[in-house]
Amino acid sequence: MRTFTCKQSGMNCSFEAIGNTDNELARKIIDHMESAHNMQVIPPEHLMKVKNAIK
Ligand SMILES: [Zn+2]
């Protein structure tokens, strides 16, 4: 089980995602970034923060 919280990636946001696999989690994170944070393309430096925030 993998978890991600937006707050740990440096965003002021209470979103949390849970996935059984990295791919499932990544899809949820990308959906959230697009709809909640208006990121059609996630900048590489933010992607690093996202990866570091995944537990
Ligand atoms: Zn968020």
* pLDDT tens readout for residues 13-44: 999 999 999 999 999 999 999 999 999 888 99
- Taking the C-alpha atoms of residue 13 and residue 24, their distance in angstroms, rounded to an integer, is 20
26: CB partners within 8 A, 6+ apart:
19
pTM for the model:
0.86
> 48: CA distance to ligand 1 center in Å?
15
The secondary structure element, H or E, covering residue 28 is: helix 22-37
pLDDT of residue 4: 97
pLDDT at residue number 29: 95
Ligand 1 centroid to Cα of residue 1, in Å, is: 20
User: What's the pLDDT score for residue 18?
Assistant: 97
Residues 6+ away with beta carbon under 8 Å from 52: 8, 9
- Which residues fall inside 5 Å of ion ligand 1, going by CB? 6, 11, 13, 15, 36
What tokens does 9 get? Answer: 């990636």
